[in-house]
Amino acid sequence: PLSNLDAKLREETRKELRTFLTELAITAVYVTHDRVEALALSDSIAVMRSGRIIEQGSPRKIYFDADHRFVADFIGRANLIPARVVRQDDAATVVESPLGTISCQKRAFAVGDEATLCIRPEFIHVVPGEGVGGANTVRGRVDSLVFVGEAFEMELTAGGEHLLAKVDADPRLREGDAMH
């Protein structure tokens, strides 16, 4: 419904619509392919594929803890990496992946299960240089940087995987640089 509006007007209208729906306490069905609209306006999201609902949940559940690979990728940009569960700690599920050993949010997987590691671009923190390692630290190289205003959209290679990151507009980063 908001697709023909310019970006600033779309944002303002989205906020007004959310306020309007909340104050009137009415139920509305809103159909969109725009993830920001879906996340901002919804109390519950149903993701459809081929005419069938494949997952339903709160915006936070759908974005941070999707049960389906398709949903994780559809609702926002995602780096999806094959992994295998190697152990369950008290507070984390530990997986082995092309990136190395990664401690993840605790999930109900058995040791040995195949899984998909979902890393959102905005949660990747990039530091120039080779780095010293540590938990959930990988080494890689900057493939490309695109300035989008408040940030860079970065493509990088780490562990043989091509990843997308959204990082601060740090003028120290250049294409070809080593990073961790």
**Predicted confidence (pLDDT) per residue in 133-151, tens digit:** 778 999 999 999 999 888 8
Question: How far, in Å, are 14, 32, 64, 79, 132 from residue 136 at the CA level?
Answer: 36, 35, 18, 15, 12
**Distinct helix (H) and strand (E) counts, the chain:** 4, 10
Question: How far, in Å, are 18, 39, 69, 78, 120 from residue 75 at the CA level?
Answer: 19, 9, 10, 9, 11
Q: How confident is the model at residue 33 (pLDDT cuts 50, 70, 90)?
A: confident
Q: Would the pLDDT of 26 be above 80?
A: yes
Name the burial class of residue 79, with classes exposed (0-12), middle (13-18) and buried (19+) by CB atoms within 10 angstroms of its CB: buried
Closest CA to 142 of 132, 155, 130, 152: 155
Q: How many residues does the chain have?
A: 180
Each residue of 85-139: pLDDT tens digit?
A: 999 999 999 999 999 999 999 999 999 999 999 999 999 998 888 777 778 999 9
Q: Would the pLDDT of 172 be above 90?
A: no
Closest CA to 96 of 105, 85, 88: 85
Mean pLDDT computed over 23-49: 91
Residue carrying the six token digits 């944002």? 11
Residue type, 107: R
Give the residue, 1 or 75, on which the prediction is more confident: 75
Mean pLDDT, all residues of the chain: 91
Q: What is the pLDDT of residue 10?
A: 92
Mean pLDDT computed over 4-33: 90
Mean pLDDT computed over 142-165: 93
Q: Rounded to an integer, what is the distance from CA 61 to the centroid of its chain?
A: 12
